[in-house]
Amino acid sequence: VQLQASGGGLVQAGGSLRLSCAASGRTFTIYGLGWFRQTPGKEREVVAAMNWASFSTYYADSVKGRFTISGDISKNTVYLQMNSLKPEDTAVYYCAAANTLATVKMSPQYWGQGTLVTVSS
């Protein structure tokens, strides 16, 4: 499975961005899709994840109510809509995939390349 992330950029605090992640290859093997982020010197952390068959979702407390993960299985694409962005949301964002929601949160099997999100104050 290959993952291609896009949509990062520079935005002012309070603004919005939407990240996209297109999956290709043996996509029938994956049901868990997720977004992680990482800043220099910190561990990569899960931001949001979903099972795109059951539509179950998970959100980190820091983004609940501001970020929304969604997926279009017909396009093999998962999205992260980020609203009310804060400077502390600045990070490199990575999409990830695994066979289950639980697995993608803890130990993804596949990673996309990162896309930088910068939120200015």
Measured over all CA atoms, what is the biggest interatomic distance in the chain, rounded to whole angstroms?
41
As to burial, measured by CB atoms within 10 angstroms (0-12 exposed, 13-18 middle, 19+ buried), residue 42 is: exposed
Please, what sign has the CA dihedral across residues 20, 25, 31, 37?
A: negative
Tell me the pLDDT tens digit for each residue of 10-40.
999 999 999 999 999 999 889 999 999 999 9
Q: What are the residue ranges of helices labelled H in 1-121?
A: 101-106
Decide if pLDDT at 6 tops 90: yes
DSSP β-bridge partners for residue 36: 46, 94
Tell me the pLDDT tens digit for each residue of 59-81.
999 999 999 999 998 899 999 99
Tokens of 76: 């093999």
